[in-house]
């Protein structure tokens, strides 16, 4: 019993140390949240939604300002944080699986995943295959048949660069659909999902490869039809009528986590503050409602565990892209 009590006291001490460390840091003024894309994409959604809830719950003293910083599929923002704001403790940067893919594909000009502090993930956004409302592709089967007959006859668009996550989703889908030569797949890269969607809805590109949170608004307006959700199961609520690729015979999964990193040279106290704050926000009713409204699924991970997850994911994507001919 004495040993058990000692262990419990030790655990409590660790928890108190973490809490006191986080509480010893206080924000001073506004917070900047960098969305590494133009307005309308998933990173923009992450900054604006989280920023709004942080203010609603009085978790920050002033406003959270979203700064859109597109370029190099997140690489411009990554370099900016490392070189210009390496010790800014009032800065959050939206990140996702797209960030991991950019790092894995060498799109960040030699920068590596261990050069920032990975704070937390607070949800997952699943990939979609979508077409404009008047597309000739009425079903996923229509699309897969055309791809197999002539892979170069279909043009895909995504909100990040060639060889990164939106492109890899296309290759994963085409591979599972039976396309033998993946190098024949045509993909156009845009600076953010919003721009890619505009091109698809406008009829300039055939198919959108992105995430459900990006496509939701255009689906609601009737301008976009989602042929498949790249998840294990259908979503709930208003999105429950969207079929998965898996139930249509194409067994491909493409979850895109949503989270944040912060600059590399912040204090331990600031790092622990942001870890605990984002974790607390992820458990709030307000965030759960935002997830449900935008097709996100629960996916929470923080601190060291999240950092290791990102490092492992970067390595996995490197291996995947090489194996599937995207490297």
Return the pLDDT at 11.
43
Higher pLDDT, 272 or 42: 272
For 20-42, give the DSSP string. HHHHT----S-EEEEESS-TTSH
Token reading at 88: 């800014």
pLDDT tens digits, one per residue of 175-211: 999 998 888 999 999 988 889 999 999 999 999 999 9
As a whole number of angstroms, the distance between CA 270 and CA 250 comes to 44
Domain-located, residue 51: yes
Residues 109 and 201 in one domain: no
In whole numbers, what is the pLDDT of the chain averaged over residues?
89
CATH number at residue 34: 3.40.190.150
Q: How many CB atoms lie within 10 A of CB 302?
A: 19
pLDDT tens digits, one per residue of 250-263: 999 898 999 999 99
Q: How many CB atoms lie within 10 A of CB 291?
A: 21
As a whole number of angstroms, the distance between CA 5 and CA 269 comes to 29
In terms of phi and psi (left: phi > 0; alpha: psi -120 to 50; beta: otherwise), the region of 62 is beta
Number of compact structural domains in the chain: 2
Return the pLDDT at 7.
42
Q: How many CB atoms lie within 10 A of CB 192?
A: 27
Domain-located, residue 50: yes
Residues 164 and 194 in one domain: yes
Q: Is 289 exposed, middle or buried (0-12, 13-18, 19+ CB in 10 A)?
A: exposed
Domain-located, residue 8: no
Give the pLDDT band of residue 318 (cuts 50, 70, 90).
confident
Note down the domain range covering 159.
126-255
């Amino acid at each position: 019993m004495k040993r058990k009590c000692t262990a419990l006291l030790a655990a409590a001490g660790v928890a108190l140390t973490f809490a006191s460390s986080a509480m010893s840091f206080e924000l001073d003024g506004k917070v900047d949240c960098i969305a590494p894309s133009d307005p309308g994409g998933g990173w923009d959604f992450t900054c604006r939604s989280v920023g709004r809830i942080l203010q609603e719950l009085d978790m920050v003293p002033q406003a959270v300002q979203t700064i859109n910083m597109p370029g190099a599929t997140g690489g411009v923002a990554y370099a900016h944080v490392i070189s210009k704001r390496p010790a800014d403790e009032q800065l959050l940067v939206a990140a996702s699986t797209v960030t991991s893919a950019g790092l894995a594909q060498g799109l960040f000009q030699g920068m590596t995943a261990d050069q920032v502090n990975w704070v937390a993930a607070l949800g997952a956004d699943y990939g979609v295959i979508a077409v404009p409302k008047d597309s000739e592709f009425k079903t996923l089967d229509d699309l897969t048949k055309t791809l197999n007959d002539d892979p170069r006859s279909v043009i895909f668009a995504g909100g990040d660069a060639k060889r990164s996550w939106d492109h890899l989703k296309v290759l994963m889908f085409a591979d599972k659909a039976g396309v033998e030569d993946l190098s024949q797949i045509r993909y156009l890269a845009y600076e953010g999902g919003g721009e890619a969607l505009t091109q698809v809805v406008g009829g300039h590109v055939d198919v959108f490869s992105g995430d459900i949170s990006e496509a939701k608004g255009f689906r609601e307006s009737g301008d976009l039809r989602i042929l498949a959700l790249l998840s294990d199961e259908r979503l709930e609520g208003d999105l429950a009528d969207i079929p998965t690729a898996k139930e249509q015979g194409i067994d491909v999964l493409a979850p895109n986590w949503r989270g944040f990193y912060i600059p590399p040279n912040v204090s331990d106290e600031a790092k622990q503050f942001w870890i605990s704050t984002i974790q607390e926000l992820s458990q709030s009713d307000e965030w759960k409602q935002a997830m449900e409204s935008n097709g996100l699924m629960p996916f929470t991970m923080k601190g060291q565990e999240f950092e290791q997850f990102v490092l492992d994911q970067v390595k996995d994507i490197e291996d995947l892209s090489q194996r599937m001919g995207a490297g």
